[in-house]
Structure 1
Amino acid sequence: MVDVEGPTDAWVRCDQCVRLIYDKRFIRSLRVCPDCGTHARLTAPQRLDQLLDPGSALPIPHIDSVHDPLDFVDTRPYPERLLDARAETGLHEAVVCVRGTVEGWPVVVAAMDFRFLGGSLGCSVGALITEAARTSLRLRVPLLLVTASGGARMQEGALSLMQMAKTSQALAELDEAGILVISLITDPTYGGVAASFATLADVILAEPGARLGFAGPRVIEQTIGETLPPGFQTAEFLLRHGLIDDIVPRAAQRTVLAQLLALQDHRADPADPAPEPGPAPGPADLVRDGSTGRAPEHILRCADQVPAVDSWTPVQLARHCERPTILDYAAHLLDGFHELHGDRLGADCPAVVGGPGRLNGRPIMLIGHHKGGSQLAERQRRSFGMPSPAGYRKAARLMRMAAKLRLPVVTLVDTPGAYPGPEAERNGQAVAIAENLRLMAGLPVPIVAVVTGEGGSGGALALAVADRVLICENGIYSVISPEGCAAILWKDSDAASTAASALRVGAAELLRLGIVNGVVPEPPGGAHTDPTRAAALLGAALEAALDELDPWEPRRLVRARRDHFHRFGVDEPNRALKEVTGEA
């Protein structure tokens, strides 16, 4: 943005659309062009004023570091450049670190300033970022990194390079302690910053148009001799390729950050004594017909409680195109739900949706399949709920984040199966599913899975290794679709209804087999007839299941989950139950 002086008033010219903006209007819009939406660069002090509650910022003391370690001189001595940068910016270094609050939620912020030697990562910046992380660890409050950098500071040589390892190590300590880390990528973020602390956060947000990458576009083009595509390395490009979680305009950043910061607040200090365990929540409570004798009314635990229907009716209802989607349920049930995107490996699968939110005040991580609803174009975009490997890897990333923050995981299963295309096979579909099965078996937080529609084969199971597996009244769960089974065994796809009966895909049969632990009632005629009521019934069942699991410390929770799945197919199911209770 360029300042333009008028006769009496100040104006600003947008670099992108070349429109003139009245200065006061520009400031009110948080320095975002009201015509084209270009986000002008902010200084570190401006950024802190924008994000933090007024008067809440408390500076983190400056950390001394080596000064001109190489006696570096190019056209000028390095100390002179430092003095000029300090004089021009009023800052001591290229990052400002403070403690503060966002909508009342505590946070430690490290905000970089591109004006100071291009926001380069030198020893002093590394020391300040590390001190911000240690302050976050000491206070047990989240860390917010606002990045803007051209890369490492050349004038400090290999010592600058070492700051990448130093800051990454500091964030690893926060991972081990279960402290939330958020990155807000601003334009530009390149080089050593991009390849260290900027991209190691649990959640990576970006401003519209912000550029992020290891090598800059000119370096890439000179190296490979090719012209890069339009928008390369922009936030929009990165979101499509699964490398960031979301793009958040400046006006929405405080709200989004507050929702994320609230996830940390519920956690007790790990040093606090664990609650006394009650009766085990695992298989010892679940006899083979699914009845516990003390189940809440909103979860049907006995097969006789499930209304009797023919075997083909639930197949049709489970596939109804107007059945509520995971986003419908999230809108009805969760406060502050924020969808997170990408597997951080290069792709974002729209057939899997996930993100944190609050279920009646309880923070959870919601993950599930999304078929796309009633519109054909949207169903096609989401591959009819059939995930690619990127979808399962995204789910795994969010489950690991939930484990770090000690959030219960809720999965909503609704898929015909994993996507069967050649690209999925090339990208390791089988491995992605297998990795999720292993991850969920040992995840140290409560997991509740609900088959809300179709539970198709391994593509469904990859999100359903849980402490409580529920199914909606008109859901189905099977090793293969009835049509596929009929074609293979009956040699006649028209025998699908016969195959559905033989496979016992309906809720009541699954409850008798012990495949599911309970059934969630639906409105008469199916969930699509009254989505609001269906969501209320699902929400009540989820709360009941989570209430049962909440008291359990991780090791015992994992043992019960593993024992539960271990007993499937065992000739003596009671033996596995006795092992859990210590009777064997």
Structure 2
Amino acid sequence: MPDHSANNGPRTTARQAIGLVTDAFTEHSPPPLPGGSAAPDGPLGWEGYDASRARAAGRTGEEESVVFGEADVSGHRCALLAFEFGFLGGSLGRRTGDRITAAYRLARERRVPLVSLVATGGSRMQEGMVALRQLQRVARESVLLREAGVPHVAVLRDPSTGGGWATVGAGADVILALPGAQVGFAGSRVRPPDADPAAYTAEGQLAAGHVDAVVPAGELRGTLARWVAALARPAPGPVPPPAALTDGGTGGTGGLPGTGWDAVRRARDPRRPRAEAYLDAYFSYRLPLGGDRCGGTDPGLLCGVGVREGRGVAYVAQCGTATLPAGYRTAARVIRLADRLGLPVLTLVDTPGAANDAEAERTGAGAAIAETFAAVAAARVPVTTLLIGEGGSGGALALAAPDNTWTTPDAYFSVIAPELAAAILKRPPEDAPHTAEQLRLRPQDLLELGVVRGIV
């Protein structure tokens, strides 16, 4: 049901929101009503419904709670829909559903990105189940948009709650939010009285992995333009691996390690270049995607879309820590998104292995790793992998392209860490260097074994 309660920050009208992010907007007319007219007081004959709609129209100047049409976002053509919260709380009724589904179809038919500016309190009570069923219509259009490979970027305004959040908002490929916006399936009047209010904010949803970025209003136009450009212009073909970065800490990357233990020590050197340095050198700019959409995040994994030579490339990069189940689920999500939109993928491998503590097991380590293996295996877009540090067992291999993995000289790849291998073989800890030699984990060994295509 719509929530008309007080908000956490200033609200914008639909027209103000459109003006905030577009250079030009051409409104489209809604589809004609079946039979030419609506039933008096709506499908339920709810007393006073027509009068409420008329008052809402008088206050807002809008005929419904959604405006849609074609827009120019910094030179990029888009289909756009914007909710008007002042019209019955931005609630969804049958005519709202007509407009939303028309916007999705417009994006699909024109093959231009869809931008949704969400501000809604939920489904319209005065239309009962007829209103609630609009969520199924929106879900179907969302599926068709994905099948067509057309990107969808949602901007969550205040408030974004109920079915509008659970379909238009949460169903988007990229989810941005304005600071302080109320975001959650339950509006403030229907959630438990002892609920933590922070969980229902844009910032809380970001921390829980349900939102990709919280963007101040003054930066929204530029951020949205960069996203639209990156998603709409994928890089052609497989991308080359990044060049190896040199650093004084390891004496440079020109030479190869002499022994297996040397390779392990170089990969573990804290002064070695890490994922962020590689990404910054490789891309003109990066747009982050964060969270597994299941309530989890992994600060040791960087994901998103980067722009290289004006074209979009999806990336997943491990940062040298044990990867959490949420990290693998986020990686799989990003790889599947890239596959739908035709974006090539770059992965950077650097982990001692998957997290293996009790919490990792409780949150589904095995299933999450399997999901990542499957996403890489199923990808129709080219995947390029560069091993930049530690390659610890299956937790590292899950992100490696089967036939297009490269390595730097400061890296190793192994079926298991040398210390753990020695322990399994009941060898003393001081035997780890010898075990490392037996594992043949050096870059040159990996090349000879056919595990990698080359040493960059």
Normalising by structure 1, we get a TM-score of 0.71
Cα distance between partner residues in 2 of 1:57 and 1:496: 65
SS in 1 for 2:313: strand
Report the Cα offset of residue 62 of structure 1: 2.2
Report the Cα offset of residue 49 of structure 1: 1.0
Cα distance between partner residues in 2 of 1:447 and 1:476: 20
Any residues of structure 2 matched to 1:310-321 within 5 Å, and which? 310-321=259-270
Quick one: which of 367, 373, 377 aligns to 2:316? 367
Quick one: which of 219, 227, 246 aligns to 1:260? 227
Cα distance between partner residues in 1 of 2:298 and 2:325: 8
Any residues of structure 2 matched to 1:83-102 within 5 Å, and which? 83-102=54-73
Report the Cα offset of residue 71 of structure 1: 4.8
Quick one: which of 416, 425, 434 aligns to 1:480? 416
Quick one: which of 5, 20, 31 aligns to 1:63? 31
Report the Cα offset of residue 229 of structure 1: 1.9
Q: Which residue of 2 aligns with 1:116?
A: 87
1:39–1:207 contact (8 Å) kept in structure 2: no
2:178–2:202 contact (8 Å) kept in structure 1: yes
Cα distance between partner residues in 1 of 2:454 and 2:311: 22
Q: Which residue of 1 aligns with 2:455?
A: 519
Q: Which residue of 1 aligns with 2:19?
A: 49
Q: Which residue of 2 aligns with 1:153?
A: 124
Q: Which residue of 2 aligns with 1:577?
A: none
Q: CA offsets, 1:423-451, max 9 Å, x none?
A: 11011101111121122112100001111
Quick one: which of 281, 284, 295 aligns to 1:335? 284
Q: Which residue of 2 aligns with 1:309?
A: 258
Q: CA offsets, 1:89-119, max 9 Å, x none?
A: 1111111112111111111110111100000
Cα distance between partner residues in 1 of 2:197 and 2:62: 35
Normalising by structure 2, we get a TM-score of 0.91
Q: Which residue of 2 aligns with 1:193?
A: 164
Any residues of structure 2 matched to 1:231-380 within 5 Å, and which? 231-266=198-233, 307=256, 309-371=258-320
Quick one: which of 41, 64, 73 aligns to 2:46? 73
Report the Cα offset of residue 311 of structure 1: 2.2
Report the Cα offset of residue 490 of structure 1: 5.0
Quick one: which of 373, 378, 401 aligns to 1:437? 373
1:189–1:212 contact (8 Å) kept in structure 2: yes
User: Across the two proteins, how many residue pairs are aligned to each other?
Assistant: 436
Report the Cα offset of residue 175 of structure 1: 0.2
SS in 2 for 1:364: strand
Cα distance between partner residues in 2 of 1:159 and 1:499: 67
SS in 2 for 1:244: coil
1:448–1:466 contact (8 Å) kept in structure 2: no
Report the Cα offset of residue 351 of structure 1: 1.6
Q: Which residue of 1 aligns with 2:431?
A: 495
Q: Which residue of 1 aligns with 2:330?
A: 394
**Structure of greater Rg:** 1
Shift of the 475–180 alpha-carbon distance from structure 1 to 2, 3 Å rule, reads same
Cα distance between partner residues in 2 of 1:357 and 1:159: 42
Cα distance between partner residues in 2 of 1:307 and 1:239: 42
Which structure has more RCO (C-alpha within 8 Å, separation ≥ 6)?
2
Partner amino acid, structure 2, of 1:48: I
1:474–1:506 contact (8 Å) kept in structure 2: no
Q: Give the fraction of aligned pairs with identical amino acids, expressed as a percent.
A: 38
Cα RMSD (Å): 2.3
Shift of the 267–356 alpha-carbon distance from structure 1 to 2, 3 Å rule, reads closer
Cα distance between partner residues in 2 of 1:340 and 1:387: 16
Report the Cα offset of residue 267 of structure 1: 5.7
SS in 1 for 2:336: helix
Cα distance between partner residues in 1 of 2:148 and 2:326: 28
Cα distance between partner residues in 1 of 2:188 and 2:336: 33
Bigger Cα displacement from structure 2, 484-493 vs 186-195 = 484-493
Instruction: Structure 1: state its 5+ residue gaps.
Output: 1-14, 17-37, 269-273, 276-280, 282-294, 300-304, 372-384, 521-584
Report the Cα offset of residue 325 of structure 1: 2.3
SS in 1 for 2:334: helix
SS in 1 for 2:69: strand
Partner amino acid, structure 2, of 1:63: P
Report the Cα offset of residue 60 of structure 1: 1.3
2:234–2:311 contact (8 Å) kept in structure 1: no
